[in-house]
Homo-oligomer: A and B are copies of this chain.
């Protein structure tokens, strides 16, 4: 089954929002073993939507539409499809009732134009909207399946999970399945990684291996096709072994993990608490730590010592070190890490100091960054980075290097 995802909405073409629906559905289809060869975004325009449908029909047999099912005049997805495939729009009783219920629940008067949302393609399977008003629908005609979903992700995603997924699965032949696994690497460039596994990439058929670089990280997605799940997993494992033999030392996790998640996991397993002192990263490391529920078990707290005063007065970095080495120095990083660890009575202290940019500092070039690591037993050391990104890239990469160093150091 080859799918095309068509997102309908002028707000997407004006850049007001991202097409996150395209990404969500693509993830779902990848897991279901359905190829997605194109995404199309088209505005609330009858003629252009019609053209997009014709193109999609020429290259896909599953066309999923998101958006344009609402009550307003510019919502025209189902009207355009109905005319295009020659189907009537008929009122759906359950949909109408749930729309009325929706307004009763909020005791607001239902305006007439809301009824329009209960119109569905005649003969289609109706997908209930548990989080909004406009129902979804699925209809197959001349070998092509049309799926219509609402635009708001808060309605579309649960609708697909609860009803859309199964509706499509029932149409799939069960002969072939796809399994995939993402390996995550840090500290090696995309080109460098690819050179090391070049022969694997050239000769790949099943499984396939796809590299992707993002903010200093590289991932490899291994995807296997076979009728049996077990065979898929064997194919993936064989490729994974070969890859890990060559670049295993840069590997840090797989699938939907991240460096910060791995760090929290590692600290939790080892029952180690951490305290953080940040200068150039301005709290980014701590902010990321605390996005993870339960981080409170390992994260004691920290200091954002953005100014020299804060470094000496709050964090207690000795004036001697600042005057002798400057705040952009390994010595300062070490004292920041060890002092913040002590203040919080934590097992581990980590610190970030350096020049994010745009301007140099203490005659040190933009991208000069020092990361300090300090342990309860007094063992304290630092790593130096020389980055060459923008201010924001340097901050983001410093945080990732901090996780990377500490993970390898523990």
Residues of chain A having any CB pair with chain B under 8 Å: 10-20, 22-30, 36-43, 45, 48, 51-52, 55, 59, 70-74, 102, 105-106, 108, 111-114, 131, 152, 154, 158, 182, 189-192, 194-195, 201-202, 210-215, 219, 221, 276, 278, 280-287, 289-291, 293, 295-296, 299-307, 309-310, 313-314, 343-345, 357-358, 386, 388-393, 395
Contacts and interface: CB of A to CB of B under 8 A. Distances in A.
Contacts of A194: 71-73, 113
Given A202-B73, A212-B17, A304 B301 contact: yes
B111 A344 contact: no
A398 to B, nearest CB: 12
A195 B113 contact: yes
Return the 4 tightest CB-CB contacts between A and B, nearest first: A282-B290, A283-B283, A301-B310, A15-B26
Contacts of A23: 12, 15, 17-19
A106 B191 contact: no
A189 B11 contact: no
Q: For the complex formed by this chain, how many copies does it contain in all?
A: 2
Contacts of A20: 18
Given A70-B191, A70-B213, A301-B309, 16 more contacts: A11-B221, A12-B39, A13-B37, A13-B39, A14-B30, A15-B27, A16-B210, A40-B40, A51-B59, A71-B190, A105-B386, A108-B189, A154-B389, A286-B304, A295-B306, A301-B307
11 contacts: A14-B27, A17-B23, A17-B214, A37-B48, A71-B190, A113-B195, A291-B391, A295-B306, A301-B314, A302-B306, A313-B345
Nearest to A71: B191
B210 A11 contact: yes
Contact of A306 (B18, B74, B299, B306): B299
B43 A40 contact: no
A293 B42 contact: no
B300 A210 contact: no
Contact of A19 (B19, B112, B210, B343): B19
A135 B45 CA distance: 35
Contacts of A305: 301
Contacts of A71: 190-191, 194
A280 B293 CA distance: 11
A395 B291 CA distance: 9
B293 A358 contact: yes
A282 B293 contact: no
Nearest to A359: B293
Contact of A38 (B52, B131, B309): B52
B42 A313 contact: no
A400 to B, nearest CB: 13
